[in-house]
Amino acid sequence: MKRISGNQTRGFVIFFSIALLALACFAGGAYAAGVYTTMANSAVSDVVGHFWTGTASAGNIIPTWGGYNPPPNGDDQRGSLWERGTMYFAMADLWQTTHDTTLQQRCQADWNHTKSAFTLNELTTCGVGWQSTGCDDSAWDCYMYIEAYLVTGDSYALQCAQTLAGNMFSRWYDSALGGGMWYRDARDFKSLYQAPSIMDYIKLYEITGTKSYLTHALLCYTWVEKRELRSFDNLYWCDYNSAGPVGASTPYDIGQAGSVCFIGGEMTMAAVHARLYRDLGDDIYRVRALRTIAAIRNRYLDSHGVLINDRDAWADGSFVGEYAREALSLPGVNPTDVTALKNTATAIFNNDRTSTGYYGGCWDGPVGTSGDVWSNVGSTPQQIMTSANSINMICAAANLP
């Protein structure tokens, strides 16, 4: 998944969204919360139009590999699990805001498809030769199972999440480099891409009460805090190997389509801090969450107050729903940070949507032109992950007051 290193009804919804935005702009000030829900409904409708087959109650997300349908010859024709997960997250996140029954039907239908297309072993085994090749793929898959459980109540989804969570910790966690999870079987570096794994363990602890999940979470969390936190700006390095942080000689190399950091991991860590604060009651975690949120504000806003999609257009927005719900709702949050996410959602909706309803990686635009730097490096709006990650930013804004 780590792609970029440092070095008739639908039309009406879209029309109605634009009309609401125009009214909001005319009135001045921040948009009302309902505008972002309308935007999110429209954006999800767009990706459903491109990446869904069948009815809401009996269809599924189309199989993709490398973001495209059909998967190329030689790849798993059932599609990539983590790729479908990026769209599943957006639907599940918006469902948490709206409790729309059609979204719930889609989540149920797609989960029914997934569990019929893959065996338990295929859904829960990780490493080379499996769908969950690295710790990031595993974390995305595990989170999709957790979301499926939370939306549908299917205990099999929870079983899949628990089994995969145990397998990925056993496979990639060790004491080398001070702890933490290896990114992949090659054991050449550890990474902030394990932050979603920490989120998985915390959520499983919250759901089941099983203390070992909290232990796993805290072991990985402590390593990230010790090895990857940058004292000079409070962001986190993305990767860490035997020589130390990768990109240490160019610490400020943080830009669109290339970065030594990872905004998706930064937002996930802020949400992790917030969940630990609520679960454990220690204010240090709230303070750390505010520290991380401030670091994002200080480094990741462009001249229009829009967040920069820095490292991975297929992953940067995956867990922003957790960031919105958990971190940006904490006592002491600067209103500027809430506004930044709203600005980003608005910019994506207005500037990063193609005329046919795909969403690009340049959140403030342009999209589909020679200036679209993400398309230039191979992350195109027509890939499910690119579109899904960008619309998840809009779905997250719908969670905000």
Residue 254 maps to a domain: yes
Instruction: Give the chain's domain count.
Output: 1
Burial, 100: exposed, middle or buried (Cβ in 10 Å; 0-12, 13-18, 19+)?
middle
Burial of 332 (0-12, 13-18, 19+ CB in 10 A): exposed
pLDDT tens by residue, 211-261: 999 999 999 999 999 999 999 999 999 999 999 999 999 999 999 999 999
How would you class 231 by CB atoms within 10 Å of its CB: exposed for 0-12, middle for 13-18, buried for 19 or more? exposed
Q: Which residues of the chain, if any, have pLDDT below 70? A: 1-30, 32-33
Report the C-alpha gap between 98 and 151 in whole angstroms: 12
pLDDT in tens, 335-352: 999 999 999 999 999 999
Classify residue 136: in a domain, yes or no: yes
pLDDT for 101:
98
Q: Is residue 241 part of a domain?
A: yes
> For residues 388 and 344, what is the distance between their CA atoms, to the nearest angstrom?
15
- Alpha carbon distance 32, 202 (integer Å): 32
The answer to whether the CB of 164 falls within 8 A of the CB of 120 is no
Amino acid in the structure at residue 389:
N
Q: Determine the structural domain holding residue 269 and report its residue range.
A: 59-332
Tell me, yes or no, whether 178 lies in a domain: yes
**Nearest-angstrom CA–CA distance, 190 and 136:** 11
Residue 339 lies in a domain: no
Separation of alpha carbons 331 and 38, rounded Å: 27
Q: Taking a C-beta distance cutoff of 8 angstroms, is the pair 200, 139 a contact? A: yes
Q: Residue 116 domain-assigned?
A: yes
Phi-psi region of 75 (alpha: psi -120 to 50; beta: other; left: phi over 0): beta
Nearest-10 Cα torsion for 316, 317, 323, 324? 150
CATH of the domain at 177: 1.50.10.20
Residue with tokens 């679960």: 279
Tell whether 237 is covered by a domain.
Answer: yes
Q: Is 156 exposed, middle or buried (0-12, 13-18, 19+ CB in 10 A)?
A: middle
Model pLDDT, residue 294: 98
At 377, give phi and psi (nearest 5°).
Answer: -105, 10
| Residue 20 within any structural domain of the chain | no
